[in-house]
Amino acid sequence: MPPSDEVPTSGREVRPPGSHQAVGSEDVFFTAIRQAGLPMVVTDPRQADNPIVFANDAFSQLTGYPAEQVLGRNCRFMQGPKTDSETITSVRRAVGEGGRVTVEMLNYRRDGTPFWNALHVSPVFGSDGEPLYFFGSQFDVTRQRAADAAWHRSQKMEALGQLTSGIAHDFNNLLMVIAGNLELIGKAEDPERRRRLSSRMQEAVFRARQLTRQLLAFARRQQLNHRAIDLNALIATMAEPIRRILGPSIRLETRLDPDLDPCFADAGQVEVALINLLLNARDAMPGDGAVTITTGLARLDEGAPEVAAGEVPPGDYVSLFVTDVGIGMQPEVLDRAIEPFFTTKHSGPGSGLGLSTVHGFAQQSRGHLLLRSQPGQGTSARLLFPCFAVSPAWRPEPDG
C-alpha cells in the first residue's frame, strides 16, 4: 500500500513557520542542489520533526512524489513494512548527533513499489557550529543489488557443483575400498590377512563418517554439541586413523601438554578439523616428511602478537598446533587459504572444503584458526579453543 499524501504544500522551496532562515531560490547552496542530477532533499533540524524544506526534480522523478507533497514532512514517509529498523535507527542517531551517515535502505515510491536507496545524509553547519540543514543524496541501487544477488547465486551454484563433484569422487573411492576388501575377505583364509582387510574397511567407514560430518558442518545443518573436551585424550583415540591417513612415509610426532585444561568445543568437529589439517599437511609433503601435533595452554594478553595484530581477542585458550615441513605457501596463497573451494591442486580427489570448514567450525566455537607459512619452510595451523573454565556461561546459537 503506497504511503499517504497528507500535508501538501506548494512549491519546491518553503519557509515553514518557525524557520530561522529564509530558503531562497537564489541561494547558491539550493541552486546547486536544484541543478544536481542526483536526487536530493534538504531538511531543517531546528524545526519540529526535522521536516523537508527542499526537494529537487531528480528526487521527484525517483520517488514519484511532487515536491509539494513532501515539503514540510519528515522523510519517514518513504519507509514501509520491510524497511530495516536498525538502518532507520542508525540514520536517526546520526541526525541526532549532528553527524553523517551512509546506508542502503528499502524505501517506497508514491505508487507503493519498493526500491533500494543508497542514502547519504550529511549536516550543513551554521556560523554557530550547530547544524543548519541536513542534505540527503539518494541513488536507486535496486538493479545493482539484484545483479549482486544473481552473481552470488551463480557463485553458490558453482560452489555446489564443485562440492557435489568432490564429494562424489571421495565417496566413490571409499565405496571401491570397501567393495574390494569385501570381495577379498570372502576369499581370504589367513586370519591375519582377514584382519588387515577388515581394518582397511573400518578406515574407509571412518573416512566416510568424517566426510559426512564435514559436509553437514559446511552446510551448517549439524547441531554442534559443545562440551568440555580433553584434547589430549581425543588425539590419543585417533592415533591409529591418524597414522593411516599420514601413511608410512610421514613421521608423526606429538607434543601434548600433560597439564592441559579442557576446552569447550564439539568433539566430533574437533576430529573433523584435525583430520582436515592433517590431510593438508600430508599433501604438502608429496615424498616424505614429518608432522607435529602440539597441544598447550595459551594465555594471550594485550601484548601478545596475535592480539596486537587483531587476529584474536585477549583471553585463555587451549591451543592445538599441526605443523608440517612441506612446501609452504606463498603470501597470496596464504591470504586465500580459508576461502571455500580455493585450492592450488590441479588434480586429485577432494571437495575443497578443508581449511574453510576448519575456519567455520572455529568461529562457531568462539575459537580461531591461525595460519603461518613460508615457502619452502612448511606450514603451521593453530586452532585456539575457549578454555572450559571460562566458557560455560555462553552457549552457541543453534544452527539453521
How do the pLDDT tens digits run along the chain, 400 residues long? 444 333 333 334 444 333 334 344 335 666 777 777 788 899 999 999 999 998 989 899 999 999 899 999 999 999 999 998 888 998 999 899 988 888 889 999 999 999 999 888 988 887 788 888 898 888 898 888 777 666 655 554 554 555 555 555 666 667 677 777 777 777 777 888 888 877 777 777 776 766 666 555 544 434 567 788 999 999 998 887 788 778 888 999 999 999 999 998 888 888 878 888 988 888 888 888 999 999 999 988 888 888 887 888 888 999 999 999 999 988 888 888 777 656 666 444 444 457 877 888 888 788 899 999 999 899 999 999 988 865 444 444 433 3
- Contact (CB, 8 A) for 309 and 318: no
User: Which residue type is seen at 134?
Assistant: F
Any idea which residue has 606429538 for its cell? 254
CA separation for the pair 381, 260 (Å, rounded): 19
Cα–Cα–Cα angle for 217, 223, 228, rounded to 5 degrees: 100
Residue 324: name the closest of 287, 296, 292 by CA.
292
pLDDT of residue 341: 58
18: Cα separation from own chain's centroid: 49
**Rounded to the nearest 5°, which phi and psi values hold at 6?**
-75, 175
| Sign, Cα dihedral of 236, 238, 244, 250 | negative
**Cα R_g (the chain), whole angstroms:** 31
For residue 32, what pLDDT is reported?
A: 73
* pLDDT on residue 10: 32
Cα 27 to its chain centre, rounded Å, is 47
Position 267 scores a pLDDT of 85
Extract the C-alpha cell encoding 347.
588434480
Per-position DSSP letters for 68-137, written without gaps between them: GGTTTS-GGGG--TTS-HHHHHHHHHHHHTT--EEEEEEEE-TTS-EEEEEEEEEEEE-TTSSEEEEEEE
- Residue-level pLDDT at 78: 94
Cβ atoms of 138 and 114 within 8 Å: the answer is no
pLDDT of residue 169: 62
User: What is the model's pLDDT at position 19?
Assistant: 35
All cell numbers assigned to 184? 577379498
**Sign, Cα dihedral of 232, 236, 242, 246:** positive
Helix (H) or strand (E) run with residue 292 in it: strand 289-300
- State the CB neighbour count (10 A cutoff) for residue 53: 23
Secondary structure of residue 47 in the 3-state scheme? coil
What pLDDT is stored for residue 170 in this prediction? 67
The rounded Cα 42 to chain-centroid distance in angstroms is 37
Distance CA 204, CA 200 (A): 6
Entry pTM: 0.46
Structural domains of the chain, ranges and CATH numbers in brackets: 28-140 (3.30.450.20), 151-390 (3.30.565.10)
Those residues whose C-beta lies under 8 Å from the C-beta of residue 379, and which sit 6 or more positions away, are: 280, 281, 284, 323, 324, 326, 328, 329, 371, 372, 373
Q: Say what the pLDDT of residue 26 is.
A: 37
